Amino acid sequence: MEKLPLHGVFLAYDHGLEHGPTDFNELNVSPKYIIDIATKAEVDALILLKGSARNYYDSKKVNIPLILKLNGKTRLYSGEPFSTQNTSVEEAVKLGAAAVGYTVYWGSKYEKFMVREFGRIEEEAHSLGLPVVMWSYPRGKTIKDDESPEIVSYAARAAFEMGADIVKLKYPDEDSKLDWVVKSADKTKVFLAGGKKLDSLNIEQHVKKAISAGFSGMAVGRNIWQSDNPVERIKAIKDIVNG
Ligand code: FBP
């Protein structure tokens, strides 16, 4: 099993469930294409759901650490956000994963269920020596602006208090508050989430500002594998992250 570094660039590919094939084209519809990109660009970790991992991730051949995402939901679901656990820490170990991931939608009517599931997963994973990554996303009727610095900082702190090793967060809409986001997360390493496709200049600007404020890396999906030059784009982001 590859060890998960706590900084770097992670390539996310859980969109088949979260958004559906509408995010894909003839190339990136295949997990094999994603694993090839990850390998060529030497990303620091690959994020998959169990279907892609079981069919395409061979831990003996792929030298990229796997983060198995343990919960998810589709775009077809409506109502207050709720991402349910669909696989286990045990399955992650079987698949040779180096870490597990889980999304919490803070502020949702169903927050209490995700908190309970995450709590169990975090303790089990840590007892087996696996780091835990939280997608910490305030979302639901009560969240008016999920990019406000207060809300992003709260998501950072909540991840720390829940025992996450890494927290994946949205970019707050005030650059000057990036420091406070990092301070709020305390010992939890902060990673920037990608979002919809941006031009390369834009995304690199965000990464630069986040890294100089103390972020540890980026977990990115569409901005890479929807691009015509995915390997170069990862390398450019890696250069920024690694200084
Ligand atoms: P992107 O870089 O493509 O935004 O991927 C990051 C991610 O967190 C994925 O892991 C996840 O599928 C997606 O964003 C969820 O995005 P949203 O919650 O906005 O639908």
pLDDT at 198 over 80: no
- Percent of the chain with pLDDT strictly greater than 70: 100
Q: Please report the pLDDT score of residue 196 as a whole number.
A: 82
Catalytic site includes residue 137: yes
Mean pLDDT score of the chain: 96
pLDDT-derived band at 235 (thresholds 50, 70, 90) equals very high
- Whether the CB of 220 sits within 6 Å of ligand 1: yes
User: Which ligand 1 atom minimizes the distance to the CA of 15?
Assistant: 12
- Whether the CB of 198 sits within 6 Å of ligand 1: no
Helices 230-241 and 200-212 pack at an angle, to 10 degrees, of: 20
Average pLDDT of the residues in 52-58: 98
- Percent of the chain with pLDDT strictly greater than 90: 95
pLDDT at 197 over 90: no
d(CA 204, CA 79): 34
pLDDT-derived band at 55 (thresholds 50, 70, 90) equals very high
Q: Please report the pLDDT score of residue 58 as a whole number.
A: 97
The number of beta carbons lying within 10 Å of the beta carbon of residue 235 is 15
Task: Give the residue, by CA position, lying nearest to ligand 1 atom 19.
Answer: 195
Average pLDDT of the residues in 154-163: 98
Average pLDDT of the residues in 43-70: 97
Contact assessment for residue 163 and residue 132, using Cβ atoms and an 8 Å cutoff: yes
User: Which ligand 1 atom minimizes the distance to the CA of 19?
Assistant: 20
- Look at phi and psi of residue 129 and say left if phi exceeds 0, alpha if psi is from -120 to 50, else beta: left
What's the CA-to-centroid distance between 66 and ligand 1, angstroms? 17
pLDDT-derived band at 42 (thresholds 50, 70, 90) equals very high
Q: Please report the pLDDT score of residue 61 as a whole number.
A: 95
Per residue, the 3-state secondary structure of 162-180, as one string, reads CCCCEEEECCCCCHHHHHH
Q: For the whole prediction, is pTM greater than 0.95? A: yes
Nearest Cα neighbor of 6 from 41, 44, 35, 39 is 44
Average pLDDT of the residues in 155-177: 96
Bridge partner list, 168: 135, 191
Catalytic site includes residue 154: no
pLDDT at 195 over 90: no
Q: Please report the pLDDT score of residue 201 as a whole number.
A: 73
